[in-house]
Chains A and B, each alone.
Chain A
Amino acid sequence: SQQGEEDPQALSIQEGENATMNCSYKTSINNLQWYRQNSGRGLVHLILIRSNEREKHSGRLRVTLDTSKKSSSLLITASRAADTASYFCATDAGPGGGADGLTFGKGTHLIIQP
């Protein structure tokens, strides 16, 4: 079953605006990760937030985690055309933690209009 579910499925904004994507999951986690995928390519790790953290920053990225609501959000500030990609959240909810692989959501497709 799908652990993470991103919302919205697609998002189109103007360059310079902020983009917010949400992720919900179902079971307890050790950490939650966000990945980016450019069209037809592999995934690239963006940021990881541990279950005991509430907020984390990396450059123009801000991730929040609310374990009581089993949800996370990814904020990209001052968006650029190069941010156009699909964004996935991934959780390690398996019995072996991340050693069993990550469970990915279906992704949010972000389009930045110039």
Chain B
Amino acid sequence: DVKVTQSSRYLVKRTGEKVFLECVQDMDHENMFWYRQDPGLGLRLIYFSYDVKMKEKGDIPEGYSVSREKKERFSLILESASTNQTSMYLCASSLVSDFYEQYFGPGTRLTVT
């Protein structure tokens, strides 16, 4: 059974802290993605990666960075957390194919106080 796991379901951090969100997939997928989900705004793409050490900016990369040192792991980094980064963060992965069906992790609900 395919699986995408995220390091935390709930996380509370203080403004200015450095925050790491980890995502691991066990399906040997090439592509990995980070989205944030906010009420009324839907899902928005932050960053994606199509190979180890490769990264591409999505629609809203400001304030975030990513790291992909291994194929199965894709980390989202908030260098200095701010309250407007309070959100649900969703990681996904997909195969390189014609269809790019995405498999999602359970999400991390991050609160920055």
A interface residues with partner B (beta carbon < 8 Å): 2, 30-31, 33, 35, 40-45, 48, 50, 88, 90, 92, 97-107
Contact = CB atoms under 8 A, between A and B. Distances in A.
A40 B88 CA distance: 9
Interface of B: 4, 31, 33, 35, 40-43, 45, 48, 50, 56, 58, 88, 90, 92, 94, 96, 98-107, 109
Interface of B is mostly: strand
Most buried by A among B33, B48, B102, B103: B102
Given A41-B106, A43-B92, 16 more contacts: A30-B98, A42-B107, A43-B43, A43-B90, A48-B99, A88-B42, A90-B102, A98-B100, A99-B50, A100-B48, A101-B33, A102-B100, A104-B35, A104-B43, A105-B42, A107-B42
Contacts of A48: 99, 101
Contacts of B45: 101-103
Contacts of B105: 42
A102 B102 contact: yes
B4 A97 contact: no
A32 to B, nearest CB: 11
